[in-house]
Chain A
């Protein structure tokens, strides 16, 4: 909790009020306790209060129950990551208390349910303990079976009191969430909330008030990354999708299944992953870019059809919500280990486009961009997101929907003559005549996975195979040349450049801020376009002594993560090194800083020679 100004000392036994600019609150319980709901309310409230917010959650991969956490970081300034250490830990059970106390900063507050938690004396020195009989007080407030329903709302009340949150706004949010259901549910929720809010916090010693955030011109919207992707696709004009349930991709298919009918679109739950991509490709072929997606093993299953899309030059959007792998791996943990399969998965030479959104807001715009690249270049586009962005909630400036929403319905106007794979096309691009389009010459194209001539008819000609391979590759070179040069965060020259992609953007920027504040020469570069890479990277790298690629994957046999390997292959630059981890959690700022220092120390001991450095 960074304190802006300390206000008046305590008077009359009332807890003193400290002004703070941000706070990290971690709520630990079991998955059925509704702790996500508390986090969700706090996040939405922040979005409505000109504050920035970022959340982080873990859910057990067990079917029901199991420990679960939700962390929310609310700040009046820019919030770039979910926060390294918590200022407040709310512990529902003994295991929540014991497993998560170490995530609390020294001197932080642990608010625990004294009905379930036995505090440890040895920890009471370092952390401020506050016991509230959450379970029994909730039952007392709302009556009922004592099955702990409503505990989360009681806790929300406690938090609202502790942080002097806007009660009418929270009540409105609670009403929106529980309204429309059985009236008693809303009443119980409000009763529990008020019971928590009016519970005496005398022994807290201190409550907090957020300094006001910067006034914003427009409204903020609050959603998860998966929601932003789903709505982005709708804005982009996508009206058909197909998928198979798998965590953490399923939210997107559920959203599209629910929403698309309003727009006359359809989302189909298929029998398997291969059917899903095939059905989406069928709809794309029928004239309108469609979407499929998956996570982990599902992406492996789709690769044959992805190769077909490359060969037939059909547009398609494939969402890969990365999770821990290989195989079934770590279904509810974050990892960035699908970069290779996204860029290169499949047999044969199959160039395709890979985009990686940096945060929740970026998910929305990346979806639109993916659709437009797929259409323009007749190519499958993989959106590489990850479990962390997928599930976390962020507030961002509301998009101008009237402006960004687009219509991409197929054009069925008859035409004179047509060659889809025209080798002499001045822009080198393939265009398709969707079925239903009449061609006056009476010569109709075929779409195929066999190597083909300009009309799509199969050929065994080595000359044509080379020409078509070049066509499929050159159009991506053309795309690469049109991409914007990424901007360096911090000075464009210096000692260390931290390169990141995907959800690492926030923690990396925060690491740069902290390092620079400590006087170190560190900048960062975020890469959104993974394949093809944007222009200008070579020049950027040349401005730094060290280039460390920070990614959530293994350092591999040769000592480099997946993006680092790609960059080394592309730029043959020995100073490109990796900072990697695979503990299933997003990077903490301090982890990036520690690893940077360690890497620098290692480089000092053994200067780069252009030859592969043997790592420890």
Chain B
């Protein structure tokens, strides 16, 4: 049968090649080179701090535009990719993690960063959070948790504490909130950390540690919504009379039960790495499966591998 198969499009199209500068001669990117659109966040929003520290991370670690991919779902914080001058994706609500998994699993040469909010992570995308955690897909995920739906203007979020008065709970929230730390540990995440936008050095430190972790690195970063939940995190901010308590130095980050106990402390709780274990990533496990499968077809062209199947169907 002759089926009209459309010609393969010519590679590149309107793209012209330029000789690349070797990486060794490239200077670290400046904030100016990293910035794209001006953020649309409200003045005073905690997310500004996370964005600034992402830029700092890129500069400090000499990451190049093309080597990172910034991915987000929907929400105030998820506007993130527009503000970063690099390959970026603003995906649909709650599904940033599976999209990012597709990038991570098919492109080992890239580092995938995912940014989002509490609604995206724990409500509409809750199950993806569980499964990306357990599959340990290599990427860095920063959830900017503000305890409220901000983009849609003040509805109860899955992390809103009981009693929080929102437009959907005018009498105060009644549902038990999600504890992101416990959720992540229970789901099988291999790197679980907590930080807050009011402590920039700590945010950067956590981002670096998450990036260096070979696996799914999850950070909950408290990020105040000055418009719809002002003062939510004051008790974690020493400048507002609160306390910023680090995870005790004696804490064993591989001890799951101890991590749960830390996560159970009442707000403001602890900041730092709660849990960190080495478990092979899905990226690595799949690569192992592939190496084994490819060993058997060594030296064959792809059409010849397929031919083997067809020969068996004659």
Contact = CB atoms under 8 A, between A and B. Distances in A.
Interface of A: 44, 47-48, 176, 219-223, 227, 231, 234-235, 239-240, 242, 259, 261-266, 268, 270-272, 274-276, 278-288, 290, 304-305, 308, 361-362, 365-366, 368-369, 372-373, 375-376, 396-399, 401-402, 404-408, 411, 413-416, 418-419, 422, 425, 429, 431, 433-440, 442-450, 457-458, 482-484
Interface string B14-45: 11111110000000000001001100000000
A396 B104 CA distance: 38
Contacts of B92: 278, 304-305, 308, 449
A376 B6 contact: yes
A275 B88 contact: no
Contacts of B104: 282
Contacts of B89: 282, 285, 446-448
Contacts of A270: 98, 131
A259 B64 CA distance: 35
7 contacts: A242-B98, A262-B297, A271-B131, A279-B102, A286-B69, A362-B3, A411-B15
B12 A448 contact: no
A264 B98 CA distance: 20
A261 B294 contact: yes
Nearest to A435: B87
B16 to A, nearest CB: 5
A242 B16 contact: no
A446 B90 contact: yes
Contact of B1 (A265, A396, A429): A396
B88 to A, nearest CB: 5
Given A242-B102, A401-B307, A442-B33, A435 B314 contact: no
Contacts of B127: 271-272, 275
Nearest to B19: A414
Contact of A222 (B68, B109, B128, B314): B314
B99 A433 contact: no
B130 A416 contact: no
B278 interface: no
A281 B5 contact: no
Contacts of A280: 102
A278 B99 contact: yes
B81 interface: yes
A418 B99 CA distance: 23
Interface residues of B, number: 75
A435 B66 contact: yes
Interface stretch (B159-167, B194-202, B216-224, B285-293): B285-293
Nearest to A375: B9
B314 A219 contact: yes
Closest A-B pairs by Cβ, 9 of them: A282-B102, A365-B3, A261-B293, A278-B98, A435-B87, A405-B303, A275-B98, A283-B102, A279-B102
Given A283-B105, A286-B102, A457-B37, A271 B128 contact: yes
Interface string B89-110: 1111001011111111111011
A447 B90 contact: yes
A279 B3 contact: no
Nearest to A431: B13
B297 to A, nearest CB: 5
Interface in B274-314: 286, 289-290, 292-294, 296-297, 302-307, 309-310, 312-314
Contact of A240 (B1, B102, B297): B102
B63 to A, nearest CB: 13
Given A266-B105, A404-B303, A414-B19, 17 more contacts: A242-B98, A242-B102, A261-B289, A282-B102, A285-B89, A286-B107, A290-B102, A368-B3, A373-B6, A375-B8, A376-B7, A415-B12, A415-B15, A437-B87, A439-B65, A450-B90, A482-B6
Contacts of B81: 446, 448
Contacts of A290: 102, 106
B310 A221 contact: yes
B15 A365 contact: no
B17 A414 contact: yes
A240 B90 contact: no
B4 interface: yes
Interface centre among A262, A263, A281 (most CB of B within 10 A): A262
A463 to B, nearest CB: 19
A281 B102 contact: yes
B240 interface: no
B1 A263 contact: no
A404 B86 CA distance: 36
B122 interface: no
- Interface of chain A, helix or strand or loop or mixed? mixed
B14 A431 contact: yes
Nearest to A268: B105
Contacts of A281: 91, 99, 102
Interface centre among B11, B67, B86, B306 (most CB of A within 10 A): B306
B84 to A, nearest CB: 8
B49 interface: no
B149 interface: no
Contacts of B64: 438
Given A266-B290, A408-B8, A435 B130 contact: no
Contacts of A405: 302-303, 306
A475 to B, nearest CB: 12
Given A240-B102, A266-B106, A283-B102, A308 B18 contact: no
B312 A176 contact: yes
A367 to B, nearest CB: 10
Interface centre among B7, B64, B313 (most CB of A within 10 A): B313
Given A282-B103, A285-B103, A401 B310 contact: yes
B82 interface: yes
Nearest to A259: B309
B294 A262 contact: yes
Contacts of A442: 33, 65, 85
Contact of A231 (B4, B91, B294, B309): B309
Contacts of B66: 435-439, 444
Given A231-B306, A271-B131, A436 B85 contact: no
Nearest to A427: B13
Contacts of B71: 282
A444 B87 contact: yes
A448 B90 contact: yes
A346 to B, nearest CB: 11
Contacts of A396: 1
Contacts of B91: 278, 281, 308, 449
Given A262-B294, A281-B102, A446-B88, A435 B110 contact: yes
B72 to A, nearest CB: 10
Contacts of B4: 369, 483-484
Given A222-B313, A375-B9, A431-B15, A444 B302 contact: no
Nearest to A374: B6
A517 B107 CA distance: 59
Nearest to A366: B3
B90 to A, nearest CB: 4
A365 B95 CA distance: 32
A363 B201 CA distance: 57
A271 B81 CA distance: 26
